[in-house]
Copies of this chain bind each other. A is one copy, B any other.
């Protein structure tokens, strides 16, 4: 089969400082669909065009940030394969039982050298996107409730030793390096964009001293006009915006960075090219990230917040 192994980003569990404020934001402003609440008080959401039960989970906590980020793998044999491969590589794993998250099967967990908890799982209940079984319409009313992204698309994580994380993702989990930013001395990499698919990125990292930090979780929109609509809805709802609307030189995506009410950055973006394993990674210098437009192609500058504000 052409696509196997790790399929796609599956879910992100995000900490919010106030649950109902978080629900209001993720459901009514970002426009995800609430799909459940569990007895730990967590609230589950999916984007309107996603077909599995959930992709974003929020829980109330004293500190914002990300608890874990998960990838769906092809099947349970694949899950077992990766579990063993991680162990063989020298990484400890643990299993979260099926049902610990609503409508989600067993999850294999491990911690990247960057301090981030990553999960793999094979099963999540199919709930569909409300399309008819035959002759489905291309979209429905949910596609216009709030910002209404199509999917939870990727995340950008900050932590130390991203080189080691990259090695694990590529060598053990089969990701490919799509783009990268060099350190100022051009001898190392300060930022990495990795894909397990044809998308320009499924996960990204920036080298950072503090482990386990979240830069943003990203949500995909269909068009540049939807990015403008997202900006309008952010303004109508007093959502603080960090950067954009603009284009990222890196990945070519067209984007807004903004913050949820707890200070977790999120991205709404469209575009970016299709990547393949035979494509060479694209390289940005450190100056390229800033003045070269890697981060903000319209403004060609390294916004202060980019390297400093994380949760």
Contacts and interface: CB of A to CB of B under 8 A. Distances in A.
A77 B279 CA distance: 18
A196 B126 CA distance: 22
Contact of A135 (B131, B293, B299): B293
Contacts of A228: 224, 247, 254
A299 B2 contact: no
A5 B2 contact: yes
Given A232-B139, A298-B231, A174 B254 contact: no
Contacts of A277: 1, 3-4, 7, 74
A297 B138 contact: yes
Nearest to A246: B245
B298 A241 contact: yes
A236 B135 CA distance: 11
A235 B293 contact: yes
A65 interface: no
Interface residues of A, number: 73
A276 interface: yes
Contacts of A212: none
Interface in A236-281: 236, 238, 241, 244-247, 249, 252, 254, 256, 271, 273-274, 276-280
B292 A135 contact: yes
B276 A7 contact: yes
A144 interface: yes
A232 B2 contact: no
Interface string A274-301: 1011111011110010001110011110
Contacts of A176: 1-3
Given A135-B285, A244-B298, A293-B135, A274 B231 contact: no
Given A4-B277, A235-B293, A298 B256 contact: yes
A51 B197 contact: no
A276 B134 CA distance: 19
Contact of A231 (B241, B284, B297): B297
A208 interface: no
Given A7-B276, A232-B138, A196 B2 contact: yes
A108 interface: no
Contacts of A236: 137
A191 interface: no
Interface in A78-125: none
A283 B134 CA distance: 5
9 contacts: A2-B7, A2-B174, A3-B176, A131-B282, A134-B284, A135-B249, A139-B232, A235-B293, A235-B298
